[in-house]
Amino acid sequence: MSEPQADCVWHKGKAYRKGYTTGSCATAAAKVAALMVLRQHVIDQVSIITPSGVTLHLNVEMPMIEGQQATAAIRKDGGDDVDATHGMLIFARVQLNDSGAITLRGGIGVGKVTRKGIGLPIGDSAINRTPRQTIEAAVREVIGVERGADIEIFAPEGEERAKKTYNHRLGILGGISIIGTTGIVMPMSEESWKRSLALELEMKRAAGLDKVILVPGNHGERFVREQLDLDSECVVTMSNFVGYMIQEAVRLEYRHIVLIGHPGKLVKVAAGIFHTHSHIADGRMETLVAHLALMGAPFSLLEAVSQCDTTEAALEIIAEQGWMGVFERLAIRICERVAEMLRFTQSPPKCDAILFSFDNQVLGSSRPVAEIAQDFAGEKRC
């Protein structure tokens, strides 16, 4: 990058290196391919200005010129925020013509859009709006206003790498997405992760769903399939971002939200903790102890639970002494906490909560589980 002193961000006293997006890679690859056609010689480095105004100086790999067509690749670098696309080559093939128009499409390894809700037409290549604009603008700057160009962006490793992303859940099949609104990857940032989760909410809402089940991860999705007998189409992963995903569901006007998860995560919500990562807050045992005490549990149980390191260990002790009713109480309290968070919204969604164990057994729920499942049984594709 052009300014080494700006190449990192500081987080908890440590410097983390910035990276650049697949959109920046595709833009640089297309620009240098167009330059090589015009100049008819191989170019080994190219510069672009990202949408955020940062200038990148990037090494070109596998440059090739074939008459009025050239191909070049840029290697994706996520900095210290490594993701599924880090280190892969993003290629552009540019063929010049006399049409005056620029066309852009995705080739092998770039996914296709199969569902509404992500801002691209069904059937289009998964190249988001900002990268489309930067790719076309970079090529237009090179070739001038008279010439035309056909641009193909492709990524030979894309289909395999996409298996490690959320693309399939967003209806993007067959490869990666060419994304990036700023062109720069900011390390230690949760915003892009949160946004990718919210995109799934948007996609399902655009498909007509107005009820959603939010789960921390794959275990919750499996519980929904096996214990509620509902299709995973109703399920969206919220990771640790409980409050954010509830806010997004309100923005999108969902009518019914169900939070389903292991007590290790959701017990925190009963204490008003809406970001459940341990680096934010951890009141699991304190919350369990408080609710057991309110139920009249003996001091010996309270003391034993307070000494546990995990909720699973606490669960064993609670079960042995016959106080499993605490989990129904907690599920109800989770819904009360959500209602408190949404108390100033005009049309808050209905909320339910279900807590389950690692062996997929229901521990407690805000209403009978059968009633909650029945509410979703008639929902489109659920």
Report pLDDT for 3. 37
Q: What is the mean pLDDT of the chain?
A: 91
* Conformation bin of residue 239: beta by default, left when phi > 0, alpha when psi is -120 to 50: left
Q: What is the pLDDT of residues 321-352, one digit of tens each?
A: 999 999 999 999 999 999 999 999 999 999 99
Is residue 377 predicted with pLDDT exceeding 90? Answer: no
Is residue 5 predicted with pLDDT exceeding 50? Answer: no
**Domain residue limits, the chain:** 15-185, 191-377
Is residue 381 predicted with pLDDT exceeding 90? Answer: no
Report pLDDT for 378. 65
Report pLDDT for 4. 33
Report pLDDT for 1. 40
Mean pLDDT of 50-68: 94
- CA 254 vs. chain centroid, Å, equals 19
Mean pLDDT of 265-274: 96
Determine what percent of the chain falls in helix, strand and coil, rounding each to the nearest 5: 40, 25, 40
Rg of the chain in Å (alpha carbons): 25
- C-beta of residue 142 within 8 angstroms of C-beta of residue 34: yes
- Confidence at 10, pLDDT banded by 50, 70, 90: low
Mean pLDDT of 254-273: 96
Mean pLDDT of 16-21: 84
Report pLDDT for 188. 54
Mean pLDDT of 110-135: 91
- C-beta of residue 360 within 8 angstroms of C-beta of residue 222: yes
Is residue 190 predicted with pLDDT exceeding 80? Answer: no
| Cα 33–Cα 37–Cα 38 angle in degrees, nearest 5 | 120
d(CA 106, CA 125): 5
CATH code 3.30.2110.10 for 15-185: yes
Report pLDDT for 273. 96
- C-beta of residue 270 within 8 angstroms of C-beta of residue 330: yes
- Confidence at 166, pLDDT banded by 50, 70, 90: confident
Taking alpha carbons only, the member of 70, 29, 72, 22 closest to residue 48 is 29
Report pLDDT for 165. 86
Q: What is the pLDDT of residues 345-364, one digit of tens each?
A: 999 999 999 999 988 899 99
